[in-house]
Amino acid sequence: MPIPCSSFDHVRLTVTDIDRSRAFYDTVFGWPIAWEIPADADEVTRERYWFLFGGIIYQMGDTLLGLRPVGKDDFHEDRVGLDHLAFSLATRAEIDAAATLLDELGIAHEGVKDLGPMYILEFRDPDNIALELVVRKA
């Protein structure tokens, strides 16, 4: 009998520079923080949050996205592992507004593409991790 999973709980991305990556994700997405180690944390608190590895975990609705700062090289989707990470938007207007925001922030992107069943907007984070915004057509 297959395992009855119904959704993702969390994804954690390995990054090379937590400050640079955090600035990017904070600016582009603005998600609330689920967990991080406070700068003034005592040793007991640091031990309690060892699983963060000095990173951060964001709350995205019912899903979590973490950044783990232990990477040694840049991402490439042709290696075994992650190809890209896609985030859902509700409307074409939202994806168009996202393209405008990326332009304002100076973040390169491919422009909104119509793939038939969905619109996508492709761009990359500071470690070259491929990201997409997706609007599924009804």
Give the CA-trace dihedral at 99, 34, 64, 20, to 10 degrees: 50
Given a cut of 90, whether residue 15 has pLDDT beyond it is: yes
Given a cut of 80, whether residue 112 has pLDDT beyond it is: yes
Structure-token pair, residue 86: 């896609």
Band of pLDDT at residue 81, cut at 50, 70 and 90 = confident
Q: Looking at the chain, which residues constitute the CATH 3.10.180.10 domain(s)?
A: 1-72, 77-138
Q: What is the mean pLDDT of residues 72-88?
A: 85
Per the CB < 8 A criterion, the answer to whether 21 and 69 are in contact is: yes
Q: What is the mean pLDDT of residues 74-90?
A: 86
pTM for the whole structure: 0.90
CA angle (98, 132, 57) in 5-degree steps: 90
Q: What is the mean pLDDT of residues 69-94?
A: 87
Q: How far is 27 from 29, CA to CA, in rounded Å?
A: 6
Band of pLDDT at residue 91, cut at 50, 70 and 90 = very high
CATH architecture of structural domain 1-72: Roll (3.10)
45: helix, strand or coil: helix
Residue 101 has what pLDDT? 97
Band of pLDDT at residue 65, cut at 50, 70 and 90 = very high
Domain range 77-138, its CATH number among 3.10.180.10, 3.30.565.10, 3.40.50.460, 3.40.140.10? 3.10.180.10
